[in-house]
């Protein structure tokens, strides 16, 4: 072999090695060969992820449905409600787990699906009704406000005021509990039936001030826990958070105190744990009131499918039941996991 040929082979080898080094360095600068980097080192989204748009992640933190929605909510019964911009502004519709729109955005407001139906508001008609999973009306729009179905009943409002009489209908639209109740605030999950109990409120007039005390009714409309609390939330896993004299504790479905009021705020139990607010931070307790994850979060959500969204340093991530970070805090907003996915926004 001539010296020229040897030099040519050596040069080619060096060139090949240099090419490999350059490729390796290129991979490092892009957060790993074959990997997927969706945020910069400071937690801000990369240029290819629209800032301010919602998408869905899986439990590994990987994008499952692209960031494209004005607003997005948790999946329920295979569908999730999303806000989508169009010629008439942003309207609500429903997507499936592949991110495909299955019920066109046509609603000014909507609830998640529950017991096969979802509450929707038709803008032009200024009335709430109920649709099925095909998007067809099952109960025609006729209510001023409405909650989703739970335990076979749905709370509906008969007047425009939030203090208007309310009752409960069944899935045929017939009243089961006559519209003579007073609720608290706008329709939300506090008004659902959970474990045989639904929230009611009693108006209290103190001089010129008007306030409400909260209690619970059963499926017949009978008061089973007298209105006496400053605030409360739904029953879950046998307990409901209640506030009295400025402190929150937990009662059972008979109204007995199970966990003494000592927290500034308290959430519902889910998967055996509840978020509580103490000394300016959120943590988690078990059903005995024992602190199992120390309060050090700015905000905290419910546990669902083994994970909970928590806010640290102004951004949201996810922890497991031991308080370990599973998905690094990086999101401007984050919902809970349902059917394997969670809605998030950068």
pLDDT in tens, 4-14: 344 444 444 44
H helical segments located in 275-339 = none
pLDDT score at 47:
54
pLDDT of 268 higher than 70: yes
| Long-range Cβ contacts of 293-302 (<8 Å, 24+ apart) | 293/319, 293/321, 293/322, 293/323, 294/323, 300/267, 300/275, 301/275, 301/334, 301/335, 301/336, 302/267, 302/268, 302/270, 302/271, 302/275, 302/336
pLDDT score at 42:
47
What is the separation, in whole angstroms, between the first and last Cα of the chain? 62
pLDDT digits (tens, 9 = 90+) for 319-338: 999 999 999 999 999 999 99
Q: How far apart are CA 173 and CA 30, in angstroms?
A: 56
Q: What is the mean pLDDT of residues 254-272?
A: 98
pLDDT digits (tens, 9 = 90+) for 184-194: 544 455 568 99
Q: What is the mean pLDDT of residues 174-178?
A: 94
pLDDT score at 250:
99
pLDDT score at 207:
73
**Phi then psi for 239, rounded to 5 degrees?**
-130, 150
pLDDT digits (tens, 9 = 90+) for 207-240: 777 678 999 999 999 999 999 999 999 999 999 9
Choose among 133, 111, 135, 136: nearest CA to 121: 111
pLDDT digits (tens, 9 = 90+) for 96-139: 999 999 999 999 999 999 999 999 998 788 899 999 999 999 99
Give the chain's length: 346
pLDDT of 275 higher than 60: yes
Q: Do 344 and 57 form a contact (C-beta atoms < 8 A)? A: yes
pLDDT score at 11:
43
pLDDT of 264 higher than 70: yes
Averaged pLDDT score across all residues of the chain = 86
H helical segments located in the chain = 3-29
Strand 299-304: give its sheet, edge to edge.
Answer: 299-304, 307-312, 315-319, 325-331
Q: Do 343 and 56 form a contact (C-beta atoms < 8 A)? A: yes
* Residue with more model confidence, 29 or 287: 287
pLDDT score at 249:
99
pLDDT score at 25:
40
CB neighbours of 207 closer than 8 A, spacing ≥ 6?
none
* Residue with more model confidence, 182 or 30: 182
Q: How far apart are CA 87 and CA 83, in angstroms?
A: 13
pLDDT digits (tens, 9 = 90+) for 295-304: 999 999 999 9
Exposure b/e, 81-104, CB count within 10 A at least 16 = b: bbbbeeeeeebbbbbeeebeeebe
CA of residue 51 relative to chain centroid, distance: 20
HSE value, Cβ hemisphere, 13 Å, CA-based, for 315: 15
Give 66: exposed, middle or buried? Use CB within 10 Å, 0-12, 13-18, 19+. Answer: middle
pLDDT score at 10:
43
Q: What is the mean pLDDT of residues 11-29?
A: 42
pLDDT of 22 higher than 60: no
Q: What is the largest CA-CA distance in the chain?
A: 109
pLDDT score at 160:
63
């Amino acid at each position: 072999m001539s010296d020229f040929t040897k030099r040519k082979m050596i040069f080619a080898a060096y060139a090949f090695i240099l090419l490999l080094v350059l490729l390796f360095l290129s991979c490092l600068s892009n957060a790993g060969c074959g990997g997927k980097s969706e945020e910069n080192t400071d937690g801000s989204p990369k240029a290819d992820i629209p800032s301010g748009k919602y998408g869905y992640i899986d439990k590994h933190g990987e994008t499952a449905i692209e960031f494209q929605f004005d607003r997005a909510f948790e999946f329920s019964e295979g569908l999730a409600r999303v806000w989508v911009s169009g010629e008439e502004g942003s309207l609500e519709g429903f997507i499936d787990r592949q991110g495909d729109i299955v019920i066109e955005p046509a609603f000014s407001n909507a609830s998640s699906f529950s017991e096969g139906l979802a509450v929707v508001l038709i803008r032009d008609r200024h009335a709430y009704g109920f649709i099925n999973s095909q998007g067809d009306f099952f109960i025609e729009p006729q209510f001023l406000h409405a909650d989703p179905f739970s335990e076979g009943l749905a709370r509906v409002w008969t007047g425009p005021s939030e203090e208007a009489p309310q009752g409960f209908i069944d899935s045929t639209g017939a009243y089961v509990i006559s519209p003579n109740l007073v609720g608290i605030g706008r329709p939300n999950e506090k008004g659902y039936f959970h474990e045989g109990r639904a929230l009611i409120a009693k108006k209290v007039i103190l001089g010129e001030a008007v306030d409400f005390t909260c209690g619970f009714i059963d499926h017949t409309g009978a008061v089973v826990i007298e209105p006496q609390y400053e605030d409360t939330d739904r029953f879950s896993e046998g307990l409901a958070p209640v506030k009295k004299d400025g402190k929150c504790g937990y009662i059972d479905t008979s109204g007995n105190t199970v966990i003494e009021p000592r927290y500034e705020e308290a959430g519902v139990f889910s998967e055996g744990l509840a978020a509580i607010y103490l000394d300016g931070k959120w943590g988690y307790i078990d059903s005995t009131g024992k602190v199992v994850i120390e309060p050090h979060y700015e905000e905290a959500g419910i546990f669902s499918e083994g994970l909970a969204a928590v806010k640290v340093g102004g951004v949201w991530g996810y922890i497991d039941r031991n308080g370990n970070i599973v998905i690094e805090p990086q999101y401007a907003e984050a919902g809970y996991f349902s059917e394997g996915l969670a809605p998030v926004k950068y």
